[in-house]
Structure 1
Amino acid sequence: MAVLWTSADAALATGGRATRAFAATGISIDTRSIRPGDLFVALKDVRDGHDFVADALAKGAAAALVSRIPEGCSEADPLLIVPDVLGALEDLGRAARARTRARVLAVTGSVGKTSTKEMLRAVLTSQGKVHAAEASFNNHWGVPITLARMPQDADFAVIEIGMNHPGEIAPLARLARPHAALITTVAPAHLEAFDSVEGIAREKAAIFEGLEPDGVAVIPTGLGVTPILRVAAETRAARTITFGPEEGSDYRLISAQIAGDATIVRAEAAGQQMLFKVMTPGKHFAANALGVIALAEAVGADQAVLTCDIGLWEPPAGRGARERVYMDIVDETQSFDLFDDAFNANPASMAAGLEVLAGAQPRDGVGRVARGRRVAVLGDMLELGPDEAALHAEIAALAAMNSVDMVHLAGPRMRALYEALPRAKRGEWHESAKDLAARAAHLVDAGDVILVKGSKGSKVSLVVDALRKLGQPGAAEAHKGKE
């Protein structure tokens, strides 16, 4: 592997002192996933990373970034000693950004940041070497780590930027210095820390404060807060590009038709018609894909290639991925479809997930219940502030709920939705996802389509795991190609 940081370069970037020469090929903050050649960064969280330095070196780390010589180590070990580890990590990210020739793209938004980042990775790969954040590395650790890991020969870098509180996005955006930045959407989320959706919009728009002098801002149309985003974009960006369903959008979404496991998208840009396919159902994925094309074109990518390659993206586990779970190794009809969307939830993304469920087609006549059902398993939406009970109850009034046959719920906040649902749709409610997961076999039948969605902290992923365990080992491979 190519050398990412020499001891000399890292010391120069951080102002630190290297106890001996080293050459690192990667960056790691976790000894559980560390690889030989990584520079281990001893950050302090629940545990102090200095406690794990000796283990990291034993596992083949090239060196460790520390603020003191840790227990079990000495000057003979490869250490880069700095006054503050997090500050030094930011310095590495800043230096990596300064030395790269990559076009840097930044993404934020209340919904769809990680999916959009992965779409960008997929569509840009055929047009150059792409470096993108891993998983949801989008906070005060994740952004500098992503930058510090950036190879010098990258052509594109995709940086995801998130927030939980006011004032978080601007410093991360200034660190990333994007050539183009995208806001996917703004929705009620993190309302514990913000007075209003307008406050969230202003925080999201702070991403434009980091734009390069010739930078491009890409914003969604059709939102109540679009004017706030537009003012921020036009203040900070050399050029503003809009996308969405509104007349006059630079990239206008004309239609998004769900067709089985895909979404067929018709759009228009600069008077030219676009037709492309996103390989997962959901109108919100169509909107994100249009934003991706607008952002990628803004840094010089080819539109024709982009619209072809958008079909290479598939949602990762926990973010809307669809799978079939086979409960019988012989009879493939004894199966159900599972949408795993258990990683994140707020009112906007909950509405989008239920819309996908409403458009899915169950299979009749194969289960204990004659008619296949659309089943929602929903966990608490967290960080919604003082109106959380009302925001949960309002889910019952969504148009997509008319097509949902049964709703099972987990978490104290979801009790409000349980009370608001018509009795015919009320399934089980449990205080915890763990308790609901124990009932997995009673929640689903062959032919059903089931959506599992909730905030990560609600732990509805336990229900996903329990539903997957209803499948017979080896059945998916046995039935592959039969459906």
Structure 2
Amino acid sequence: MTLWTAAEAAEATGGHSTTDWDVNGVSIDTRTLQPGDLFVALKAARDGHDFVAQALEKGAGAALVSRIPDGVSEDAPLLVVADVQAGLEALGKAGRARTGARVVGVTGSVGKTSTKEMLATIFETQGKTHASVASYNNHWGVPLTLARMPRDTEFAVIEIGMNHPGEIAPLARQARPHVALVTTVAAVHLEAFDSVAGIAHEKAAIFEGLEPGGVAIVNADIEYANILRQTARDQGAKIVDFGRKAADYVLTGVAQVNGSVRADATLETQTFTYDVQSAGAHFAMNALGALAACVEMGVDLDDAIAGLKQWSPVKGRGVREILPLASGGQIELLDDSYNANPTSMEAALDVLAASKAARRIAFLGDMKELGGQEVAMHAGLAGVGAMARVDQVHSIGPLMKALHDALPKDKRGRWCETSAEMAEHLPELVRAGDTVLAKGSLSMALAQIVDGLRKMGQGSAPGS
């Protein structure tokens, strides 16, 4: 199905096409570009114009550019605009405007990608669904997602993130959600903010993009919930709360059942139970927010609960695997290696602590962008409640040296500067019967620990 014609794209962006063309996708990366895609020549670490010729050779249907690149014919299929980033944003806004889809926007300091995936999984049982890929939630990820939206989409889920003040509101206005959900507010990106309250104000800005009569889904348990509610009220939004406290949707109980979570909740006088296919109890709260959003989008609660059963964590975000070891026996791997902050780290340690394994082992990497309190925040992990049931912690990175030094000697494992260095020692640090957690900020490359653990075995199988 054609996504964009040359005429449609030119009208949307105010640019001009060098020839007639049509495309069925949009790409910003020649490594993942598919034949028939519109290649967008963004300028990031490198100038995308340098890759236009390669994109066309790989079968791109056209390229969005601000000039005709060197080595590219003037009669090549191009859409020429004044600024490529602005052109992508205009294309995204047009993609959003032409669809009759019901749209959910998701943000939060922790859990936004998993919650986005839960929502997409549920909506896929209800109709044609479009959602952000991976964590495409920034200044190019949001318009790219919108530009990729097929015109016959019925449900869309747009993830919106930030690193600095002022980023969320313009992205939310591009997405124009009917329902917007804030999973939580926590001490993340403190390098760019004076306080967690400042982060709450930034997260609340997602409500500034709500369509008239829109709905704000707010986590009632967070300290700064009133900041979120006030912004929602300022936008004239309906407010729906979820949490363990007084809320519209109240989480009343969570139990581990065969590596999954079973949660009990209430909505007014109605009691209901839902299952989450993950060992992480913290996913129960994200799922409750997702269920609330689905109901506000017009999905029957029972249908949403049934759809939720089909969700499972994505790679690096809480995936549980059983790894048979070549030497005999097996280990349980908790792969949460994609990212980390104090809140998500504590939640992951809770999952590890709940294991009934012979030993509970953690490989923890630096948590980035925490500002002036970063050393204290790393050392503070030694005092979280779950640490009492963790047998040994191996620390990776200069900041995690503070945790290493703060741990009691019986829990203090090895400290290494890098994941690559730590991976060399895995055979002496892990043995059959262990449950092993790997978690750290993406730049710490804890995926190398995960890969090293897999190489110790004879393959892997998803846990049940």
TM-score, structure 2 as length reference: 0.98
Cα separation, 1, equivalents of 2:143 and 2:236: 23
Q: Is the 8 A contact 2:331 2:431 kept in 1?
A: yes
Cα separation, 2, equivalents of 1:354 and 1:4: 44
Q: Is the 8 A contact 1:211 1:237 kept in 2?
A: no
Cα separation, 2, equivalents of 1:405 and 1:278: 27
Match of 2:229 in 1: 230
Q: Is the 8 A contact 2:454 2:460 kept in 1?
A: no
Q: Is the 8 A contact 1:208 1:237 kept in 2?
A: no
Instruction: Supply the AA of the counterpart residue of 1:299.
Output: M
Cα separation, 2, equivalents of 1:442 and 1:172: 48
Match of 1:349 in 2: 344
Match of 1:152 in 2: 151
- The answer to whether residue 362 in structure 2 is matched with residue 376 in structure 1 is yes
SS at match of 2:67: coil
User: 2:436 aligned to 445, 450, 453, which one?
Assistant: 450
Cα separation, 1, equivalents of 2:165 and 2:211: 22
Report the Cα offset of residue 441 of structure 1: 1.2
Cα separation, 1, equivalents of 2:120 and 2:19: 36
Cα separation, 1, equivalents of 2:393 and 2:434: 13
Cα separation, 1, equivalents of 2:236 and 2:36: 39
Cα separation, 2, equivalents of 1:129 and 1:343: 29
User: 1:433 aligned to 419, 433, 436, which one?
Assistant: 419
Instruction: Supply the AA of the counterpart residue of 1:327.
Output: L
**Deviation string for 1:122-150 (max 9, x for gaps)?**
11111111100000000000000000000
**Deviation string for 1:239-284 (max 9, x for gaps)?**
000000002x001000111223100000001211110110101221
TM-score, structure 1 as length reference: 0.94
Match of 1:301 in 2: 299
- The answer to whether residue 389 in structure 2 is matched with residue 394 in structure 1 is no
Report the Cα offset of residue 328 of structure 1: 3.0
SS at match of 1:469: helix
Cα separation, 1, equivalents of 2:63 and 2:386: 52
SS at match of 1:157: strand
Cα separation, 2, equivalents of 1:223 and 1:297: 22
Structure 1 residue runs of 5 or longer lacking an equivalent are 363-371
Match of 1:340 in 2: 335
SS at match of 2:331: strand
User: 2:321 aligned to 303, 320, 323, which one?
Assistant: 323
SS at match of 2:35: coil
How many percent of aligned residue pairs carry the same amino acid?
55
Q: Is the 8 A contact 1:4 1:25 kept in 2?
A: yes
Report the Cα offset of residue 476 of structure 1: 4.3
- The answer to whether residue 171 in structure 2 is matched with residue 172 in structure 1 is yes
User: Which of structure 1's runs of 4+ aligned residues deviate more than 4 A?
Assistant: none
Question: In 2 relative to 1, CA 374–237 (structure 1 residues): closer, same or farther, beyond 3 Å?
Answer: farther
Match of 1:29 in 2: 28
SS at match of 1:266: strand
SS at match of 2:264: strand
Cα separation, 1, equivalents of 2:35 and 2:189: 38
Cα separation, 2, equivalents of 1:443 and 1:38: 47
Cα separation, 2, equivalents of 1:23 and 1:78: 9
Matched length: 464
Question: In 2 relative to 1, CA 253–237 (structure 1 residues): closer, same or farther, beyond 3 Å?
Answer: farther
Cα separation, 1, equivalents of 2:375 and 2:128: 46
Instruction: Supply the AA of the counterpart residue of 1:245.
Output: R
- Equivalence map 1:9-28=2 (5 Å): 9-28=8-27
Cα separation, 2, equivalents of 1:79 and 1:394: 54
Q: Is the 8 A contact 2:280 2:318 kept in 1?
A: no
Match of 2:5 in 1: 6
Match of 1:463 in 2: 449
SS at match of 1:422: coil
Cα separation, 2, equivalents of 1:459 and 1:166: 27
Report the Cα offset of residue 229 of structure 1: 1.2
- The answer to whether residue 208 in structure 2 is matched with residue 203 in structure 1 is no
Q: CA RMSD in A?
A: 1.3
Report the Cα offset of residue 443 of structure 1: 1.9
Match of 1:368 in 2: none
Q: Is the 8 A contact 1:260 1:360 kept in 2?
A: no
- The answer to whether residue 43 in structure 2 is matched with residue 48 in structure 1 is no
